[in-house]
A and B are shown apart, each in its own frame.
Chain A
Amino acid sequence: MPCWYYDKKELRNTPSALDNIEYDTEMRYRKEGARFIIDTGSKMDLGYNTTATGVVYFHRFYMFHSFRQFPRYVTACCCLFLAGKVEETPKKCKDIIKTARSLLSDAKFATFGEDPKEEVMTLERILLQTIKFDLQVEHPYSYLIRYAKCLKGDKAKLQKMVQMAWTFVNDSLCTTLALQWEPEIIAVALMYLAGKLSQFEVIDWVGRVNKHLRWWDMFVEDVTMDLLEDICHQVLDLYSQPTPTTAPDSPPLLPRPAQTTQPSSSKTANGQEKEKPEVPEPNPPSVPAVSIPDVPTYPYPPSFTTTAPHASAYPPAYTNPPVVPPTHIAAPPPGPPPPHMAGPPPGVPFTPYVAPPHYPPVVATGPYYAPTPPSQPHRPYYPPPS
């Protein structure tokens, strides 16, 4: 099977980049596409697995094709359509398109052309080849649950932490993290983040061995703090970005000769132009800029985010689909408004961000990809009595 993990350099050298689409713009298209899949999926009552699979297909697709050539919302619909079939939750193509139409502006829906269904069907064949029929995708959710079951401590706090981590996993779909790291690592990183933010300090865990310094040493090997921090920041960055509505909408489809203006430059919430640094700023002062979600100032939007399940009742189903298309991408991570998220807890400061971690090329297989068990030898052979 192909390797679906890329380093940061490769993520800046995509077909879209070669097609003169700015990096930030591409990231925004990815985010919007992912968010749209999530919204469409949740409106159609599709489970989190189906939605997440669709999003991963979407990100993979644009490692081989440009956003300029394939309008993102059509691709998004196609990815969800295929994911529905793969995850045994099939939806009719025409129903997906109907839902898409209800969520998209006329201008955006125009990218579906005259025969939207045919458009999606044709694209499906391109999609299947692009992803090399590698249909099975794993997501951090199941690992999150598995890891959570091993952690000891206050049940309610643990529950809150898992809830928050779950939300982060949902939102991480809007980043390219799934193109960078295995789901196990993302699950560890986002639980680590949730632990920090919810002040749940993991002191003990089931299966603890002396050589384990951290709970996650039990599940993943050689994960550095730098790496965890980097993953956390990629997710937290989502919350400091403008909402899709305030961002200028520049569909890739309008003829756009190579230009130097930046229709995609992000704006801060107060409308000021803000250059997004190419790489996260390396020095500690940049840390406060990573706004840790500031819950109380936001009304809580109904969201895709499911309530993280009780450890006893995993895996959870989605909560009801949102009535209003959630715009919370720039809002705090949802979940029931956690009182504990009002800024970084004083006692447990978010570890200062030190330097952009070094990205070693990811090797697809690690010790955690246990292959399917080989068939066990049955009953040993005893030579028959002579």
Chain B
Amino acid sequence: MQPREKTHSHSHPVMTLKEKEKYIENFKFPFCDDSAKYEKVAKIGQGTFGEVFKAKEKANSKKLVAMKKVLMDNEKEGFPITALREIRILQRLKHENVVNLIEICHKRASQQNKCLSTFYLIFEFCEHDLAGLLSNINVKFNLGEIKKVMQQLLNGLYYIHSNKILHRDMKAANVLITKNGVLKLADFGLARAFSANKNGQPNRFTNRVVTLWYRPPELLLGERNYGPPVDLWGAGCIMAEMWTRSPIMQGNTEQQQLTLISQLCGSITPAVWPGVENLELYKQMELPQQQKRKVKDRLKPYMKDAYACDLLDKLLVLDPSKRADADTALNHDFFWTDPMPCDLGKMLAQHSQSMFEFLAPPRRSRTHHTMANQRPTTSAMQDSGYQDRVF
């Protein structure tokens, strides 16, 4: 709407690509700030579509942000659809327990980046991620604090699910916690909107989502018409991990993951899960028979609390239709009996940011993200520091 300097010659109003780049540079977009307003402090992660930096706002150096770069280099189809998805979803989701997308910034094209402009997603900075905290032996959660973590996590899930969004990548590394102890679900790069079976048509989502260790049995068996229960399985895995301190089922292959699940949750049969026999991969996969359900038995030594065991037992249910939803889980006695959920701030204060950054193991390399066909490879597992298995 505002007048601006013309960058083109009047006799040739059509701009060449070069001129266009120039036009972008000179045009003051009223709505998209320059990324130069932030100053990078450190690289803190490697995302699937670009690096993540910790940065501070130049105008207000107390304000810390995480800048997630959107790599456009090898994109045949322009701005990546995954980034668009994440942006659209995060714009819709505004909740205390969902990571806050502040804005999207733009970095001007320069000689160095071959005239390609870059975009950054700017997030509120979170000091910790749950995987980092759990792998730091100095960090100890008491029962009230664990309850607080799980309560916030389920609250976030309740919120996104009631807004018809599936996270689809639940894992400890995607659970961020601020220094004040507020939990934020992060990484909506795989998230998507769902609707209850549009005009009777079942959904056909990809089942190649969720990091293998947190992947629910229905996805492993090829279900494509899945829903919120996939995230609650992940929530269950994370819950157990609060005590075991490392992922409870670390399969190397889909087959192995199913075996581990059967060994913990009992055999996958039509008796406990009516309809499972119709899933695409049910006949292809080898499903251990005669396995007893041992969720409570095997986790009791770690969790001790009977309510905790009971809630976990309701989250790690094979049949997704019988798995507890976020609402049910939040109403479980676990959250309403002593010790009540309590603030995490105090405990986290002992593990100040500098402690975390210099003493704790680095945040997991994100390269073993197991979207699509990738699986966590042995080396990735070593990198991640998740070698010792609990089971």
Which residues on A are within 8 Å of B, measured CB to CB?
1-2, 10, 13-15, 18, 63-64, 68-69, 71, 81-82, 85-86, 88, 90, 92-93, 111, 113, 115, 118-126, 128-136, 252-253, 255, 313-315, 371-376, 378-379, 381-382, 384
Contacts and interface: CB of A to CB of B under 8 A. Distances in A.
A384 B338 contact: yes
Contacts of B94: 371-372
A122 B17 contact: yes
Contacts of A122: 17, 20-21
Contacts, number: 132
A374 B78 CA distance: 35
A27 to B, nearest CB: 17
Contact of A375 (B17, B32, B159): B159
Contacts of A133: 32, 87, 91, 104
Contact of A314 (B1, B11, B93, B199): B199
- Pick the 10 closest A-B CB pairs, nearest first: A132-B31, A378-B330, A129-B32, A375-B159, A85-B81, A384-B338, A379-B331, A129-B29, A124-B78, A133-B104
A16 to B, nearest CB: 11
23 contacts: A82-B79, A85-B84, A86-B84, A90-B77, A92-B77, A93-B78, A115-B17, A121-B78, A124-B79, A126-B24, A133-B32, A133-B91, A135-B91, A136-B91, A136-B92, A255-B13, A315-B198, A372-B159, A373-B162, A378-B331, A379-B330, A379-B336, A382-B336
B140 interface: no
B162 to A, nearest CB: 6
B306 interface: no
A121 B21 CA distance: 12
A255 B337 contact: no
Interface residues of B, number: 55
Nearest to B159: A375
Nearest to B19: A69
A136 B163 CA distance: 14
Contact of B20 (A1, A126, A128, A132): A126
B162 A375 contact: yes
Interface in B1-30: 1, 3, 8, 10-17, 20-21, 23-24, 27, 29-30
Contacts of A86: 84, 88
A294 to B, nearest CB: 35
Nearest to A133: B104
B369 interface: no
B199 A379 contact: no
B327 interface: yes
Contacts of B93: 372
Given A129-B24, A129-B32, A378-B327, 6 more contacts: A90-B81, A113-B14, A253-B13, A372-B163, A378-B330, A378-B331
B214 interface: no
B58 interface: no
A13 B1 contact: yes
Interface of B: 1, 3, 8, 10-17, 20-21, 23-24, 27, 29-32, 76-79, 81, 84, 87-88, 91-95, 97, 104, 106, 117, 119, 155, 158-159, 162-163, 192-193, 198-199, 327, 330-331, 335-338, 340
A18 B335 CA distance: 62
B11 A255 contact: yes
Most buried by A among B12, B32, B77, B119: B77
Contacts of A118: 17
Nearest to A317: B199
Contacts of B92: 136, 372
Most buried by A among B1, B104, B198: B1
B158 A71 contact: no
What's the dominant secondary structure at chain A's contact region?
Answer: loop
Nearest to A91: B77
B307 to A, nearest CB: 12
Given A85-B79, A88-B192, A314-B199, A255 B31 contact: no
Contacts of A1: 91
Contacts of A313: 199
B199 A384 contact: no
Nearest to A309: B199
A123 B106 contact: no
Given A122-B20, A126-B20, A379-B331, A69 B1 contact: no
Contacts of A82: 78-79, 84
A71 B14 contact: yes
A130 B81 contact: no
Contacts of B155: 375, 378
A1 B337 CA distance: 42
A17 to B, nearest CB: 10
Contact of B199 (A81, A88, A315): A315
A86 B80 CA distance: 10
Nearest to A371: B94
A186 to B, nearest CB: 22
Contact of B1 (A10, A111, A115): A10
Nearest to B115: A122
A129 B31 contact: yes
Nearest to A64: B1
A378 to B, nearest CB: 4
Given A125-B79, A135-B91, A255-B11, A14 B1 contact: yes
Most buried by A among B3, B8, B10, B15: B15
Contacts of B106: 129
